[in-house]
Structure 1
Amino acid sequence: MKIVRHVAVLLLVAVISACASGSGSLTPPPERTQAAVDDYLIGVDDMVQVTVWRNPELGVTAPVRPDGKISVPLVGDVVAGGRTSAAVAADIQQKLADFVRTPQVAVILTELRSHEYLSRVRVTGAVRQPVSIPYRQGMTVLDAVLAAGGTTEFAAADRADLYRRNGDDSSSAHAVNLDRILNHGDLTTNYRVAPGDIITVPERTF
């Protein structure tokens, strides 16, 4: 089980870890605890790898089907959707005990497809092309805005905001001065973005 938890931590940290700001002072969202990482629930379309120690022929790598199940040799269908990797591994291990002596099972998430949209970064408002883009480690506000084609001539670039969901499901807003970033090279508010962030650029009032 220690192997499962260790690999799950590595995968999830790569997907949902929030980075501190590049040269600004935006406080990253609270770190997810070990318990929260272990509680990640497998979703439909997530890619799951099942390995059985010393029995490689019983291993399988497959996406979770729409019915939330995966098929495992000897065992048959096993419910994976809505459960943790540890719970699925324990279930398979128990069922394999009828066929294999003291089986040791590991369930590893190799692709978190079900959370694709939860990890995207969105740019809306007075930009040339509002976008929803996949999060990439090290991505900044400037990267996201450039992916949206930059601001329009009607943008109030000095009054942009970055909205971020906190660990308690509340959200917080952080002022971003795109005018300083784009036109003066001032990276003070060029924060590193986190999965799920939304950047809004309002229009000027005339």
Structure 2
Amino acid sequence: MFLVVLLTSLALLGCGPKLPLAPAVVIDEGETPFYIIGPGDTVEIFVWGNPEVSTGAPVRPDGRITVPLVEDLQATGKTPTELARDLEQALARYIRTPVVTVMVGGFVGRSSEQIRIVGEATEPQALPYREKMTLLDVMIAVGGITEFAEGNDSVIVRTINGAMSQYRVRIEDLIKDGDITANVQMLPGDVLIIPEAWF
């Protein structure tokens, strides 16, 4: 699915009407959701009064963790608090009334909450989303654009409530000319496509 969106977007970059510019600020849709654990995250598990089972664990690509006394427990799709309650339930077979705290480090998040940068970025990659992240933040993280990039024809592909929209962004104006009006807010799940210039 991601590849289809990418190829469609790249095809649209070279022809047809210009896309609308991305909105500078996206309207806040309410309360910030809790962090949801994803593959690649690292969780630190503290079991009160039981240091021998307190440990750190990476969340595997299959979304599970294995810790002392508990094997293959699903972690992805849960908040740290939900995972702590699941661990308490699993550890209750071995420890009387366990009290567990889960802390997340090495944030990666679920793929739907990452921002993907493809094309003529210096270092194309997927970035974990941070609250109020902007296009400038993304450009700093990927090291800017290559000398072959057509930065002002870049596109953000954004899916909200199942509907896909595309917006043009002016990366060259932002990072080469310092035009801060070209800075726009990014959202979780955005795909930033930076095309190659046609010489």
TM range (shorter): 0.5 to 0.7
What whole-Å deviation, never above 9, does each CA across 1:30-81 have from its counterpart, x for those lacking one? 55755x536x2x44443222111232222011113456543333x3314124
Q: Does 1:76 align with 2:76?
A: no
Aligned residue pairs, count = 172
Q: Higher mean Cα deviation, 76-85 or 101-110?
A: 76-85
1:188 to 177, 181, 186: 181
User: Partner of 2:24: helix, strand, or coil?
Assistant: coil
One-letter code aligned to 2:102: V
* Runs of 5+ unmatched residues, structure 1: 1-23
The alignment's C-alpha RMSD in Å is 4.0
Q: Higher mean Cα deviation, 190-199 or 176-185?
A: 176-185
Q: Structure 2 CA distance, aligned partners of 1:178 and 1:95?
A: 50
Q: Would the aligned equivalents of 2:116 and 2:126 in 1 still touch at CA under 8 Å?
A: yes
One-letter code aligned to 2:26: P
Residues 1-206 of structure 1: matches in 2 within 5 Å?
26-28=24-26, 30=28, 33=31, 36-37=33-34, 40=36, 42-65=37-60, 68-73=63-68, 75-84=69-78, 85-113=80-108, 115=110, 119-124=114-119, 127=120, 131-132=124-125, 134=127, 140=136, 143=140, 147-152=144-149, 155=150, 158-166=152-160, 168-178=161-171, 180-181=173-174, 184-195=177-188, 196-201=190-195, 203=197
Q: Would the aligned equivalents of 1:160 and 1:202 in 2 still touch at CA under 8 Å?
A: no
Q: Would the aligned equivalents of 1:43 and 1:81 in 2 still touch at CA under 8 Å?
A: yes
Stretches of 4+ aligned residues off by more than 6 angstroms: none
One-letter code aligned to 1:105: V
One-letter code aligned to 1:28: V
Q: Would the aligned equivalents of 1:49 and 1:109 in 2 still touch at CA under 8 Å?
A: yes
TM-score by length of 1: 0.58
One-letter code aligned to 1:90: R
Gap change, CA 1:164 and 1:202, over 3 Å in 2 = farther
Q: Would the aligned equivalents of 1:164 and 1:173 in 2 still touch at CA under 8 Å?
A: yes
Q: Structure 2 CA distance, aligned partners of 1:58 and 1:142?
A: 41
Q: Structure 1 CA distance, aligned partners of 2:169 and 2:62?
A: 43
Aligned-residue sequence identity (percent) comes to: 26
One-letter code aligned to 2:95: V
Q: Would the aligned equivalents of 2:46 and 2:100 in 1 still touch at CA under 8 Å?
A: yes
User: Partner of 2:25: helix, strand, or coil?
Assistant: coil
